[in-house]
Chain A
């Protein structure tokens, strides 16, 4: 049971690390004394968090996404208010300017375009941030 859990923890490591050291980690586990194994399980769990969060640099992408969400929330609130006022003033058809569903459609389209651009920037930055791996 514990051995299966250990294998599962090793399997959850980032692919590059798992392919390079996974078999060796399992080999060490089978060689270790039974008394050592609980410590090896804890070590594998810590290693899992460390490899995903620190070494793989995914935390940078996560931070960028959080920062982007914060910006969207703050500036989006301001932008929506301003855009709604501008639409009411500039729409050529007075009937259309009073139609809140038409306004919402235009705003949704704009918001969708902004989100698409932000997603594209996040995806591109994640490609740039990922450091070149050895061999």
Chain B
């Protein structure tokens, strides 16, 4: 699981987790709310799903723990951020999805034209 191709296609949960961490480091609850925001509330992950996937992502080096935190923060919170490898995997998935969208547009265009 250390090469990019072996991660593709990403599961919905992993894609959204990586995407939530793409902009900035976040703690678990912030990742959950960011995923809900990104999907317009249509996709939500619970802590079990989130941490189960984070465990795997940490193990394979796509995500790492970040030490910096606000001074008055809840000590139980941990912050996570994307690694370089995680960014490469996310980029590869974005390219794959773009190719899929392109295929969809190609196949739907004639049908739309006929309609």
Contact = CB atoms under 8 A, between A and B. Distances in A.
Interface in B41-89: 44-52, 54-55, 58-59, 74, 76-78
Contacts of B51: 17, 20-21, 24-25, 47
Chain A interface, DSSP helix/strand/loop, else mixed: helix
B48 A27 contact: no
Interface string A26-38: 1111011000000
B32 interface: yes
B52 A50 contact: yes
Contacts of A25: 28, 47-48, 51
A55 B52 CA distance: 9
A85 B98 CA distance: 72
Contacts of A134: 58-59
Contacts, number: 66
A24 B52 contact: no
Interface in A96-122: none
A29 B74 CA distance: 13
Given A20-B55, A50-B52, A26 B76 contact: yes
Contacts of A129: none
B29 interface: yes
Interface of B: 27-29, 32, 44-52, 54-55, 58-59, 74, 76-78
Given A20-B55, A24-B47, A27-B74, 5 more contacts: A20-B51, A24-B51, A27-B29, A55-B52, A134-B59
Interface of A: 17, 20-21, 23-29, 31-32, 39-40, 42-44, 46-48, 50-51, 55, 134
